[in-house]
Amino acid sequence: MDIVLLEIGEDEARTIGPCIISAPPAWPPPVPKMGQLVLVGGYPKSLREEALAPGWIGAGPYSAIFRVTLAGETKFKCAIERRDLIAFDGGLPVPGTDMGGLSGGPVFLVDALTCPLVGIVTDRCEMSVADFEIIEMATLAGVTP
């Protein structure tokens, strides 16, 4: 798997607007442990808005916080229990929604002082369409800066 990380300067960050600045204290960043919380983000195809204006496609952003339920050196997983999900924008994707396009999205460790980038989304599988899904992430342990 190839991963590209781009560094942006303070001036560039100001022109982008609100963003998360992730600066792990050392490289590679820590590997998440079971029980820790991670913030997942991305732009799945099922949430994209098309044809709001000619030639315009909305991003359809998705973000969620999940608890790590399985952790290893190269990958970690989170069980998504739908009964625990809360929507802040009016609704949740229905069970079984194809979240294709979320892969490659960033995964940040939720910490008290910093939120370092610790992985990327690699896969999602449904265990039970109604209640239980698993999302898999790759750690950055093997990525060289």
DSSP lists the bridge partners of residue 39 as 65, 108
> What are the Cα distances from residue 82, in Å, to 79, 123, 128?
9, 17, 10
Domain 10-139 has CATH 1.10.3860: no
Query: Among residues 49, 61, 50, which one has the least CA distance to residue 105?
Result: 61
For residues 22 and 36, give the distance between their C-alpha atoms in angstroms, rounded to a whole number: 17
Task: Note the pLDDT tens digit of each residue in 3-48.
Answer: 566 777 788 878 877 766 666 667 788 899 999 999 888 777 666 6
The structure's pTM equals 0.72
- Amino acid at site 141: A
Task: Note the pLDDT tens digit of each residue in 74-89.
Answer: 999 988 776 666 666 6
Query: What is the biggest distance separating any 2 CA atoms in the chain, rounded to whole angstroms?
Result: 46
Delimit the domains of the chain by residue range: 10-139
